[in-house]
Amino acid sequence: MRTIFLGTPALAVPFLERLHQKTTLAAVITAPDQPAGRGYALKSPEVKIAAQKLSLPILQPGSLKDPMVADQIRTFNAEVGIVVAYGKLLPKDVLSIPKQGFLNVHFSLLPKYRGAAPIQWALINGETETGVTLFWLDAGMDTGPVLLQKKVPILPEDNAESLRNNLVEVGVICLEVALGMIEMGMIPREPQIGAASTAAILKKEDGQIDWTKPAEAIWNRMRGMTPWPGTYTGRLKILKAHPVLESTGGEPGTVLRVVSGEGPVVKCGENILALLQVQPEGKKAMSAWSWWQGARLKIGDKIR
């Protein structure tokens, strides 16, 4: 089976590699090199680097709307295109090029969490389950019919990085199953069922802690914002913490007490949050206990 692959970041690389193993991969389409670092030297996408190692043909169009790009894609004679975190919507004239269309790997149980950051928002919203959806692209944003879905539990210790790694592992297995189904002519296109929700791309300001929120909500936001953009209050980034079910008075954001060897305990809108690891601006990560020793704060002060 001839295929083409569209993807850009590191999380897409395992899918590229499996597709290369299981099909005749005619070409890889990825984003253009981008300037990065202080010297603004051009940096290649991780998918391009992986494709070069596999000696695969690579396209890096600035836009898929260019008719010449569509003509080039037609020359690959692909039965199906696989898309993983490519980063751009595919125009209608490109969507119709492969015989079966384009199959997208999305890290949620669609129609929940359509958009750029489904892993992060599932954690932020306190979900206990998410999954992988392989669906056929149409003109909408993650709205196409489903080929298959696989549920994945979200563990209390998960953050965005660990959950992403787990979903990628499951997703690669799902891709291999999907390829087998297509080869056998089993190509379901089931409509998405359930209430739709969106997962907007994260911004740095999303990491700002609102201490008037419940402790569990703040903790869930920390899980979803790790490793980027992180959660912070003032100039202090909170790296690790855990919520404690304890009803107490006090103004949200103030230190209620300090646990020796661990760190300060902070009042939230509901319950409290025990800080375990922090990173002051311009410094390395440290235990919350070590930070407290030099913070020049006292019980009753606001964390800043």
Span 181-209, pLDDT tens digits? 999 999 999 999 999 999 999 999 999 99
Residue 237 CB burial class (10 angstroms; 0-12, 13-18, ≥19): buried
Fold observed for domain 206-294: Methionyl-tRNA Fmet Formyltransferase; Chain A, domain 2 (3.10.25)
* pTM, to two decimals: 0.96
Q: Which two tokens stand for residue 233?
A: 């209050």
* Superfamily covering domain 2-183: Formyl transferase, N-terminal domain (3.40.50.170)
Domain ranges of the chain: 2-183, 206-294
Helix 46-53 vs helix 13-22: crossing angle, to nearest 10: 30
Q: How many residues does the chain have?
A: 304
Residue 274 CB burial class (10 angstroms; 0-12, 13-18, ≥19): buried
The answer to whether 4 touches 81, Cβ cutoff 8 Å, is: yes
138, pLDDT greater than 90: yes
Span 56-75, pLDDT tens digits? 999 999 999 999 999 999 99
Contacts of 296 (CB under 8 A, 6+ apart): none
The answer to whether 272 touches 213, Cβ cutoff 8 Å, is: no
**Residue 157's pLDDT band (cuts 50, 70, 90):** very high
- Which ranges of the chain does DSSP label H, i.e. alpha helix? 13-22, 46-53, 67-74, 92-95, 118-124, 160-183, 215-224, 288-294
